């Protein structure tokens, strides 16, 4: 039996009709982000494995079990599971922080595929795509709030109204040492009843117990001490200011004291925006502040704030647009051999005038060509046969109304460009 190849589990093809929705999302992203001064960065799809283990953290699920890592020659490389660490690497490598030192934060955005070996389900894939934005060199709380406001605006622009902003502060490194001690002493008597993963997390990095998906554990953890009650004065003031700015923008939010996010580099503000329509994987996007990351990667002390949104989840949540846009303006219908010959050059001339043209690749019966015109989503069928060529006038049929008029080539261009 012949082998039938299929896209691998957790990956999928995006076909032209669906791709139109992706293009709409990408166009809106570029338009909105450029209004906020963000420039695009494109980093490689693979990086050194160490870049991710050092930044995302060795006790996170991503690094422990989800990375696509391979050894090529004597190099260990990993398909990027996220792009914040690569962006931080690029900032150091290209000394973008020099500009930052003069007081200009660097605002970067990216759109592209990421890879995590997770169990696929609705809204969760192994190759998925993110839209992300990172602000480097801005310690101010306004950078947090303005970036959140930007993505809030993007969601509105693509018609996603069903959204909830969840906000927390995970404090500063100093805060976390004190909190870790409080959490560990609370955990000790509860651990025997908790899952094996939590037992391991309690030793390696207690904060990660909040990643636990086991319901009984989650119920227990509701009674755990809260990070928010352990913030330093500075971290608490930063958080208050972020909230004040969000209030000023009129963006509603809920405080979620158990929101810690699945990556280790965060300090202070963390946030997610969820949507009820998504089901279990309900996070449209998430992010936060990572003031220590650039330094940890060997760069100067450059603070950072950013987020990433899952494009599959955005596309799933976006309302249906207007009827799928017509993909061709004109479909040429060739009548007989001379018509077919003439249609080859005519298609080229019309395309040069900016029209989108579907044209026959061989002589075909009229019926088959009309079906092709329909399939191409063409607005007009234009008939090219011997008598049309002799007159220089072609039948131009509006496929929606069925109305037909005679037009010369210039007339076809002006009518179809309207």
Residues that bind ligand HAM (CB under 6 A): 82, 84, 116, 118, 123-125, 128, 130, 132, 134, 262-263, 283-288, 290, 306-310, 312-313
CB of 80 to ligand HAM, least distance (A): 10
Closest approach of ligand HAM to the CB of residue 264, in Å: 11
**In the complex with ligand HAM, which residue's Cβ is closer, 45 or 283?**
283
C-beta closer to ligand HAM: residue 117 or 327? 117
Q: CB-wise, 97 or 124, nearer to ligand HAM?
A: 124
Tell me which residue has its CB nearest to ligand HAM: 310
Q: How many beta carbons lie within 10 A of that of residue 37, not counting itself?
A: 12
Residue 269 and residue 305 in contact, taking contact as beta carbons nearer than 8 Å: yes
Nearer to ligand HAM, 275 or 343 (CB): 275
Cβ at position 117, least distance to ligand HAM in Å: 9
> What is the rounded distance in angstroms from the CA atom of residue 19 to the CA atom of residue 98?
39
Nearest approach, Cβ of 77 to ligand HAM (angstroms)?
A: 19
Shortest distance in whole angstroms from residue 310 CB to ligand HAM = 2
* Lookup: tokens for 300: 């100067």
Q: Tokens 């846009």 map to which residue?
A: 325
Cα–Cα distance between 221 and 215 in angstroms, integer? 10
CA angle 50, 56, 61 (to 5 degrees): 105
Nearer to ligand HAM, 82 or 291 (CB): 82
Nearer to ligand HAM, 163 or 379 (CB): 163
Strands 106-115 and 39-40, bridge-based pairing: parallel
Nearest to 397 by CA among 417, 414, 386, 412: 412
For the chain, what's the residue count?
A: 418
The CA radius of gyration of the chain, in Å to the nearest whole number, is: 28
Residue 128 or 380: the one with the smaller Cβ distance to ligand HAM is 128
- Residue 8 CB, shortest distance to ligand HAM, in Å, is 14
CB of 165 to ligand HAM, least distance (A): 13
Q: How far is the CB of 113 from ligand HAM (least distance, A)?
A: 10
User: Which one-letter DSSP state was computed for residue 121?
Assistant: B
How many whole angstroms separate alpha carbon 186 and alpha carbon 191? 9
Residue 308 or 330 with smaller CB distance to ligand HAM: 308
In the complex with ligand HAM, the residue whose CB is nearer, 191 or 283, is: 283
SS3 label, residue 277: helix
Residue 18 or 398: the one with the smaller Cβ distance to ligand HAM is: 18
Decide whether 116 or 372 has the Cβ nearer to ligand HAM. 116
What's the rounded Cα separation, in Å, for the pair 129 and 314?
10
CB 124 to ligand HAM: min, Å: 4
Strand pairing class (267-274; 164-169): antiparallel
Q: Which letter, b or e, does each residue of 258-287 get, where b requires 16 or more Cβ atoms within 10 Å of its Cβ?
A: ebbbbbbbbbbbbbbbbbeebeebbbbbbb
Beta carbon of residue 21, minimum distance to ligand HAM (angstroms, whole number) = 16
User: In sequence order, which residues have a C-beta less than 8 Å from that of residue 249 and are 6 or more positions away?
Assistant: 145, 149, 152
Closest CA to 132 of 96, 82, 170: 82
Q: How far is CA 244 from CA 143, 253, 279, 323, in A?
A: 13, 11, 31, 41
Distance CA 154, CA 246 (A): 16
Rounded to the nearest angstrom, the gap between the alpha carbon of residue 94 and the centroid of all alpha carbons in its chain is 24
Judge contact between 168 and 260, C-beta under 8 A: yes
Tokens of 219: 């119920």
Q: Which two tokens stand for residue 126?
A: 């192994």
Q: How far is the CB of 114 from ligand HAM (least distance, A)?
A: 7
């Amino acid at each position: 039996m012949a082998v039938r190849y299929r896209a691998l589990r957790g990956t999928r093809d995006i076909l032209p009709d669906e791709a139109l929705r992706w293009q709409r999302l990408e166009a809106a992203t570029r338009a909105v982000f450029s209004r906020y001064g963000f420039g695009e960065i494109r980093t490689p799809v693979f990086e050194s494995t160490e870049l991710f283990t050092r930044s995302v953290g060795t006790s996170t699920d991503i690094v422990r079990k989800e990375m696509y890592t391979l050894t090529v020659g004597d190099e260990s490389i990993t398909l990027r599971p996220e792009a914040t660490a690569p962006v931080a690497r690029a900032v150091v490598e290209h000394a973008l922080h020099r500009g930052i030192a003069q007081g200009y934060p660097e605002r970067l955005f990216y759109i592209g595929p990421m890879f995590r070996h997770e169990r696929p389900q609705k809204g969760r894939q192994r190759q998925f795509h993110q839209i992300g934005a990172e602000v480097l060199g801005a310690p101010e709380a306004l950078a947090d709030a303005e970036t959140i406001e930007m993505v809030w605006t993007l969601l509105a622009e693509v018609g996603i109204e069903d959204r909830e902003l969840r906000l927390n502060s995970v404090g500063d490194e100093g805060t976390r040492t004190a909190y870790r001690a409080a959490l560990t002493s609370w955990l000790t008597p509860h651990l025997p009843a908790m899952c094996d993963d939590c037992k391991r997390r309690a030793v390696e990095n207690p904060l990660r117990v909040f990643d636990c998906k086991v319901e009984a554990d989650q119920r227990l953890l509701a009674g755990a001490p809260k990070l928010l009650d352990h913030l330093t004065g500075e971290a608490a003031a930063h958080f208050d200011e972020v909230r004040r700015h969000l209030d000023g923008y009129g963006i509603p939010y809920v405080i979620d004291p158990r929101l810690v996010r699945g990556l280790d580099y965060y300090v202070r503000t963390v946030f997610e925006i969820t949507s009820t329509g998504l089901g279990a994987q309900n996070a449209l996007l998430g992010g936060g502040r990572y003031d220590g990351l650039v330094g940890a990667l060997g760069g100067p002390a450059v603070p950072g704030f950013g987020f990433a949104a899952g494009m599959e989840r955005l596309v799933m949540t976006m309302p249906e647009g207007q009827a799928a846009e017509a993909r061709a303006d004109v479909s040429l219908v060739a009548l007989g051999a001379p018509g077919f010959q003439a249609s080859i050059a005519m298609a080229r001339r019309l395309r040069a005038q900016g029209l989108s043209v579907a044209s026959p690749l061989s002589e075909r019966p009229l019926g088959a060509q009309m079906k092709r015109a329909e399939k191409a989503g063409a607005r007009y069928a234009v008939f090219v046969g011997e008598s049309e060529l002799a007159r220089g006038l072609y039948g131009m049929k509006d496929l929606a109304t069925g109305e037909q008029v005679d037009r010369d080539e210039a007339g076809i261009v002006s009518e179809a460009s309207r």
